């Protein structure tokens, strides 16, 4: 099984429908969804209760049993049930099946609850199957009145007063699923005016608008118009009765040979169509939704419904983006820490060695972030947060590297000096010529110190500190040595000072080199970050363009259909919607181009700031 997939043995309740009308997300089911890291194809089924919805979903799962099939007039499925399975054709996707509570249950007495269940089925799915019995007639269309209530149940924008109907329509289409009408127990011949038609042609004929402006005609056209507006991608399947009425109560126990061929054939086509053509769930902007993202979306919607608010698509996507991007930063930082822990052994021999490992781990951490983050307006902010955190981690490692190196060097020096220290205590160096002997032993100690491997980048700094700590001893021995004249002692003191100054100059040069290396690493990191942002912007721009092109294509088809049917005024309105989408696409291209042009400017300003900071530090005393 591919990484991130989930194979549930049986469905579980995803959303519980409580007696008081509240909707509750089942924790166990939510955890299952949150465990799916793959993109998900979400197929939801809705329709009147006791119309055989669960049986179709079991067939999509490739099983006889799973979702509960009722055999009485009582509606069995309560709330929304979920079954997560590996996609039958694509190992990079997971299939999520949602079986919704039957609409119109007379025992429930809460039509508002039905509307919310239907709205959630739309908001969560990438393909919505509407299941009905008999034929697609006006009665069947009126039973789908939940569609006409969608604009009351769902907002496209956070500020609807400022948006036109055309803008809202386009936003709904971006978010809404493909629509399949499944007509069960269909016994009519597929003919119109004596000519054979396809199932899709039958659906389109049923959705043909009636001409006229009377209130009655407008009411007649309302459900048809809403379906055409909200679901431009439509398909129809008709199914004969599966078996005799007597055997229906044992439907899930029947073998294939016990079922009617006129039922099995369309069932096979139905399943094949969904498996082959259903798109992964996306949100506006073309961002593909994973299982864990769907779990978060679900909670956002349910919380909004339970609080009495109208779920807003724009706000939901923004909230999802905030959650996902924050999680992406956390995941990236954790990745960086884990990789550095495995690949970096302290102390390093050079600063370059540490920075090289940091650059590799930072690159992989950034890839982790970019793979999960989305929403270009949000990504930049969270990318800066990640950049700051990784910079802090690098600086902490640099300081720790210096400290580990200094401590190790100091330990080596203390051990090597122990012989000289013993000589000082027993007075070996207090006799005439003792200072020269001490100096020779010190030189031997320093040479041995330099030959010790693995000391790290603080070898010279630790040696300077140690020399300072022993200056008093050396001066005392120098002054006590009677074999040296006053002039010789003065010359020796000057030599010691020159040696210390030389080492100090070496340390200053090392610090300047370190700061230069850090500045170069900052530039590398900054350039990589900006390139990643540019690539992310290009990717999201492409997704947005593909999504907009798809919406335009769908609206062009509807425009052509309206002209064919003779609805000139509605066709002109559709033209306005199409034009708005084209302008929106152009505006996105302009914004994208502007940001791309700003990237080199931002990079230059950032590096100028880093350079100034470096110049100000190089004149300071090296930090011990």
Are residues 225 and 365 located together in one domain of the fold? no
Are residues 145 and 211 located together in one domain of the fold? yes
36 band by pLDDT with thresholds 50, 70 and 90 = very high
| 5 located within any domain | no
DSSP class per residue in 262-275: HHHHHHHHHHHHHH
Are residues 245 and 103 located together in one domain of the fold? yes
Query: Which of 309-318, 353-362, 475-484, 549-558 shows the lowest per-residue confidence on average (mean pLDDT)?
Result: 475-484
Are residues 301 and 351 located together in one domain of the fold? no
| 353 located within any domain | yes
Pick from 242, 276, 311: which residue ends a domain?
A: 311
Are residues 181 and 254 located together in one domain of the fold? yes
Averaged pLDDT, 409-419: 95
Are residues 306 and 323 located together in one domain of the fold? no
Task: Tell whether the model's pLDDT for residue 64 goes beyond 70.
Answer: yes
φ, ψ of residue 23 to 5 degrees: the values are: -105, 135
**Structure-model confidence comparison of residues 155 and 288, the more confident one:** 288
| 548 located within any domain | no
Per-residue pLDDT tens over the stretch 588-607 = 666 666 555 555 555 454 44
What H or E segment, with its residue span, contains residue 187? none
Are residues 344 and 229 located together in one domain of the fold? no
The pLDDT > 70 percentage for the chain reads 84
Are residues 156 and 205 located together in one domain of the fold? yes
pLDDT given for residue 258 in this prediction: 63
546 band by pLDDT with thresholds 50, 70 and 90 = confident
Cα-based distances in Å from 80 to 14, 51, 91, 488: 6, 16, 26, 97
Are residues 265 and 351 located together in one domain of the fold? no
| 399 located within any domain | yes
Per-residue pLDDT tens over the stretch 66-80 = 787 543 334 445 789
Model confidence, pTM = 0.80
| 363 located within any domain | yes
User: What is the average pLDDT score of the chain?
Assistant: 84
| 118 located within any domain | yes
| 4 located within any domain | no
pLDDT given for residue 105 in this prediction: 56
Which tokens in the block code for residue 437?
Answer: 């002997």
Whether the CB-CB separation of 49 and 103 falls below 8 Å is answered with yes
Number of domains the chain contains: 2
List all residues 6 or more positions away from 297 whose beta carbon is below 8 Å from its beta carbon.
123, 124, 283, 289, 316, 320
Query: HEC profile for 143-185?
Result: HCHHHHHHHHHCECCCCHHHCCHHHHHHHHHHHCCEEEEEEEC
Cα-based distances in Å from 511 to 22, 63, 398, 572, 594: 65, 69, 13, 72, 40
Query: Which of 85-94, 313-322, 595-604 shows the lowest per-residue confidence on average (mean pLDDT)?
Result: 595-604
Q: Does residue 60 have a cis bond before it (omega within 30 degrees)?
A: no
Task: Tell whether the model's pLDDT for residue 486 goes beyond 90.
Answer: no
Averaged pLDDT, 569-593: 79
Cα-based distances in Å from 155 to 150, 160, 365, 576: 9, 7, 36, 21
Averaged pLDDT, 30-57: 88
The domain in which residue 70 lies consists of 12-311
Are residues 281 and 332 located together in one domain of the fold? no
Are residues 57 and 26 located together in one domain of the fold? yes
Q: Order of strands across the sheet with 94-100?
A: 23-25, 12-17, 80-86, 94-100, 40-47, 127-133, 178-184, 234-238
Query: If 0-12 CB within 10 Å is exposed, 13-18 middle and 19+ buried, where does residue 294 land?
Result: buried
Q: How far apart are CA 109 and CA 20, in angstroms?
A: 11
Are residues 243 and 223 located together in one domain of the fold? yes
Task: Residue 237: name the closest of 271, 276, 278 by CA.
Answer: 271
pLDDT given for residue 595 in this prediction: 56
| 350 located within any domain | yes
Which tokens in the block code for residue 491?
Answer: 């010359």
CATH code of residue 338: 1.20.1000.10
Averaged pLDDT, 538-557: 87
């Amino acid at each position: 099984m591919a990484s991130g997939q989930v194979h549930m043995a049986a469905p579980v309740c995803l959303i519980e429908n409580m007696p008081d009308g509240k909707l509750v997300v089942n924790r166990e089911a939510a955890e299952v969804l949150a465990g799916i890291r793959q993109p998900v194809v979400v197929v939801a089924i809705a329709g009147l209760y006791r119309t055989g919805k669960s049986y179709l979903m079991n067939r999509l799962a490739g099983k006889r049993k799973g979702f509960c099939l009722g055999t009485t007039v009582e509606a069995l499925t309560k709330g929304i049930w979920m079954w997560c399975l590996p996609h039958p054709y694509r190992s990079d996707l997971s299939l999520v099946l949602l079986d919704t509570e039957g609409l119109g249950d007379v025992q429930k007495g809460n039509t508002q609850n039905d509307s919310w269940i239907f709205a959630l089925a739309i908001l969560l799915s990438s393909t919505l199957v509407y299941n009905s019995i008999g034929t697609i007639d006006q009665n069947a269309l009126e039973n789908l009145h939940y569609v006409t209530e969608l604009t009351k149940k769902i907002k496209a924008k956070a500020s609807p007063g400022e948006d036109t109907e055309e803008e809202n329509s386009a936003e709904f289409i971006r978010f809404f699923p493909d629509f399949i009408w499944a007509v069960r127990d269909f016994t009519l011949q597929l003919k119109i005016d004596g000519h054979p038609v396809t199932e899709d042609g039958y659906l389109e004929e049923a959705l043909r608008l009636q001409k006229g402006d009377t209130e009655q005609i407008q009411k007649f056209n309302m459900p048809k118009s809403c379906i055409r507006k909200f679901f431009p991608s439509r398909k129809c399947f008709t199914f004969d009765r599966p078996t005799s009425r007597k055997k229906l109560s044992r439907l899930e126990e029947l073998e294939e040979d016990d079922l009617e061929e006129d039922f099995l054939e369309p069932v096979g086509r139905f399943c094949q169509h969904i498996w082959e053509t259903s798109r992964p769930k996306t949100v506006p902007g073309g961002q593909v939704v994973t299982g864990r993202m769907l779990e978060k979306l679900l909670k956002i919607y349910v919380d909004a419904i339970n609080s009495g608010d109208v779920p807003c698509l724009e706000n939901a996507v923004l909230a999802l983006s905030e959650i996902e991007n924050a999680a992406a930063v956390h995941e990236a930082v954790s990745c960086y820490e884990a990789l550095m822990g495995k690949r970096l052994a302290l102390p390093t021999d050079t600063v370059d060695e540490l920075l090289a490992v940091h650059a590799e781990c930072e690159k992989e951490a950034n890839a982790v972030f970019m793979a999960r983050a989305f929403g270009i307006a949000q990504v930049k902010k969270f990318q800066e947060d990640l950049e700051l955190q990784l910079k802090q981690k690098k600086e902490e490692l640099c300081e720790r590297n210096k400290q580990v190196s200094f401590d190790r060097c100091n330990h080596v020096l203390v051990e090597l000096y122990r012989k000289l220290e013993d000589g000082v205590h027993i007075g070996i160096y207090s006799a005439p010529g003792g200072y020269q002997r001490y100096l020779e032993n010190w030189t031997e100690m320093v040479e041995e110190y330099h030959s010790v491997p693995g000391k790290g980048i603080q070898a010279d700094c630790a040696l300077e500190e140690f020399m300072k700590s022993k200056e008093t001893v050396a001066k005392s021995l120098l002054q006590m040595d009677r074999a040296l004249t006053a002039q010789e002692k003065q010359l020796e003191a000057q030599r010691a000072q020159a040696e210390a100054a030389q080492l100090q100059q070496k340390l200053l040069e090392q610090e300047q080199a370190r700061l230069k290396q850090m500045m170069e690493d900052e530039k590398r990191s900054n350039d990589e970050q900006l390139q990643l942002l540019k690539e992310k912007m290009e990717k999201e721009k492409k997704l947005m363009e593909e999504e907009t092109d798809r919406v335009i294509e769908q609206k062009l088809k509807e425009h052509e259909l309206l002209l064919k049917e003779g609805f000139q005024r509605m066709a002109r309105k559709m033209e306005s919607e199409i034009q708005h989408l084209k302008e929106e696409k152009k505006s996105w291209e302009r914004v994208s181009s502007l940001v791309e042009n700003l990237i080199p400017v931002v990079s230059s300003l950032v590096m100028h700031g880093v350079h100034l900071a470096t110049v100000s530090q190089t004149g300071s005393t090296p930090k011990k």
